[in-house]
Structure 1
Amino acid sequence: METSCVAGISDKGLMRRLYPVPFRLLEDKQQFSKWQWIDVRTRKATQDHRVESYRLYVDTLACGEKLETKQNWAFRQHWIEQIPSFNSFDTIERARIDDGLSLALLRPKKVLKLKIVQAKSLEWTPEEKEKLMREQMQGDLFSQEDAERDIATLKKLPFDFYYHYLCETADGEKEYQHKIVDWEAGALYWNCFYKHGPNWEVPFRAKMEVDLPSKDLMFLMGNQHRFQHQWLIISLIYPPKPQPQEVTQFSLF
C-alpha cells in the first residue's frame, strides 16, 4: 500500500477522511491497522471541500489501542453506532445534497450478488499513471523519481468488484449497485489467486457472497472528490449478527 486516503472516526464521533497517508514512509511504530486508534495532528483540507476531509501531519502520528472483536464486537460496536447510519442509499444521497455528507454507513437489507468485471486495461493507463503521480507527489512526500519507481511496481487489480443489493425505501424494495474499493477485497483477490490460480473465483465468491452476507454486513460509503454524486463502497464492516434476546416466560399460575 502506498499513499492512501484513510477514513475513520474521531473520539468525538465525527467522521474523518485523512490524506495523504504515505504508508511506505511510516516508521514501524507508526504502521497502524484497521480498527486501531491513532493520535495525529490534522488541519482542514483546503483543496478538498468535503466536510470530512482533513490533511494530516505525518510526523505527529502515533499508534494507540486496537479495538478487539471480543464480547461479540462490543468494543467496536460502540463506535460503529457513532457513524451516520442509513438503511437506504437514497437517503445518503439526499443527505449529500442537503448537508454535504460524503461518508456514511449503509445497512443494506440484502446482498443479491457479487458482480466481477474484467478491468478495461490490465496495465495502468496514461491517465491513471498521471493521477497516481499527482497523488504520490502531493505534499512533497515523494520525489518524481520515487513516484515513478513505485507506480512501476504497483500491481493493478485485473478485475473490478460490485455488490448488487437491496434497500428498503418508502416505495418498497429498491436495487442498487456500487463498486467495492475496500483494500481488503483486493488483498483477498490476490490471496485467492496465489493459492488457487485460475480457480481463484470459487473461494473469492464464497467469502464475498456467502460468508460476509451471513454476518451483519454494512458498507462504509464514500463519494468521489471530483464527482460527488458517484459513491463507492470504501470499506466492508461485518460484525456478527446480533444475538436474539432471551425471553423469560413466567407462569400465570
Structure 2
Amino acid sequence: MAVNDVRILILCKTYPSPSGRYTETTCVAGMDESGRLVRLFPVPFRLIAKDHQFKKWQWIKAKVEKAKKDHRPESFTIKVDTIDGGEVVLPGKGWAERRRLLSPIKVYCDFLDIEAARQATNQSLALLKPARIIGLEIEPVSDPEWTEEELAKLVQEQKQGGLFDDDDKPSIKTLRKLPFDFYYRYECGEGATAKTFRHKLVDWEVGALYWNCHHSHRADWERHFREQLEKEIPEKDLMLLMGNQHRFQDQWLIISLIYPPHQMQTELAF
C-alpha cells in the first residue's frame, strides 16, 4: 500500500489497556489537514508514557499507510521513526484557533446517528455533543494490579511491531493500572425524545486526573475527581470523541474529552 507523508493534529491518547491479542494497546487519534479523523498505530508505549514526544493539540508529521489488518476507514499504520513533533495549538482567546481547526468535523447530537453511520459506512471515529452529562459512574476493577497474563500481552503487542525487546519489560511495569473503570452516563435529545447512554472513559487525561487526585487528596480523591468530571468539564461546551473497538465494532468508547469554553453571543456573530 502507498506510504504518504501527512500532518496530523493529535486529539486523543488513551490509557493503555492490555485487553487481548486483537485490540490496540493504546489508541492515538487526530485529524489531518483536511479535517478527516484518523487513528494511528502502533505508537510506542514510551512515547505516550513519558509525554515528551507529542501531546494533545500538537501537530506532528509522519509517514503513514492504510492499515492492512484493520479495515476501519480511519485506521492507519504510522512509521514511528518518522514522527516529527511540530507546533502546539494553544487555547488562545475563546479557543478560536482550535475551533477553526475542528470546524470541518461533523458533530453529532445523537449517539444513535453515530452507530447508524458505522453500520452504513464503517465509520469508527466521531465527535458527539451530548445534551447533558447525567453523572459519572465509578466501578472497581476485578484486579487492581497487572496480572502476569496482562503484562505478557502488553509486552507482546509492543514487540510485534519490533518496538521493544525483553529488557523493556521493567519499564512497562512502571505503568500503573487504573484500579477503577470510569463511565459517563449522558443524554442525547430533549424532553420526551431524550435518550440515555453509558460509555466508558478511556482518555489518558482521565487516568492522569485520577492519579493526581489520589496523590493530592488520598482518601478524599473521589470528591475532587467528580468535581472535575461531573461539574467543571460538563459546564464547558463539552464534546466526546467516540471510537469503536477493532474486534467488537458495535462497542464504543469515549476516547477523548474536548471541552472549549462556551461561545459568547458576540463571538457567534463572526
TM-score, length basis structure 1:
0.90
Determine the structure 1 residue equivalent to 2:184. 163
Per the TM alignment, residue 222 of structure 1 is displaced from its structure 2 partner at its CA by 0.3
Task: Give yes or no for the alignment of 1:211 onto 2:235.
Answer: no
Distance 2:61 2:100 in 1: 19
* Most deviating of 15-24 and 158-167: 15-24
Per the TM alignment, residue 171 of structure 1 is displaced from its structure 2 partner at its CA by 7.1
Distance 2:136 2:52 in 1: 35
Distance 1:170 1:47 in 2: 43
**Residues 34-70 of structure 1: CA distance to partner in whole angstroms, max 9, x if unpaired?**
1010010101111111111111112211111211111
Per the TM alignment, residue 136 of structure 1 is displaced from its structure 2 partner at its CA by 1.6
| AA partner of residue 155 (structure 1) | R
Give the CA RMSD over aligned residues: 2.3
Determine which structure has more spread, i.e. the larger CA radius of gyration.
1
**Residues 131-164 of structure 1: CA distance to partner in whole angstroms, max 9, x if unpaired?**
3123221211111342x32343221000110000
- Matched positions, count: 245
Per the TM alignment, residue 121 of structure 1 is displaced from its structure 2 partner at its CA by 1.1
Instruction: Give ranges in structure 2 of 5+ residues lacking alignment.
Output: 1-14, 17-24
Question: Could you tell me whether the CA contact under 8 Å between 2:131 and 2:190 is conserved in 1?
Answer: no
Alignment of 1:1-253 (within 5 A): 4-24=26-46, 31-146=53-168, 148-168=169-189, 172-245=193-266
Distance 2:156 2:51 in 1: 27
Greater RCO (CA < 8 Å, at least 6 residues apart): 2
Distance 1:93 1:186 in 2: 26
Other structure's SS at 2:265 match? coil
Per the TM alignment, residue 169 of structure 1 is displaced from its structure 2 partner at its CA by 7.7
Per the TM alignment, residue 77 of structure 1 is displaced from its structure 2 partner at its CA by 0.4
Other structure's SS at 1:213 match? coil
Identity %: 50
Question: Could you tell me whether the CA contact under 8 Å between 1:30 and 1:61 is conserved in 2?
Answer: no
Q: Cα gap change, 1:30/1:58 in structure 2, threshold over 3 Å: closer, same or farther? A: farther
Per the TM alignment, residue 83 of structure 1 is displaced from its structure 2 partner at its CA by 2.1
**Residues 179-238 of structure 1: CA distance to partner in whole angstroms, max 9, x if unpaired?**
000000000000000001011011101000000010001100000000000000000000
TM-score, length basis structure 2:
0.84
Other structure's SS at 1:41 match? strand
Q: Cα gap change, 1:25/1:118 in structure 2, threshold over 3 Å: closer, same or farther? A: closer
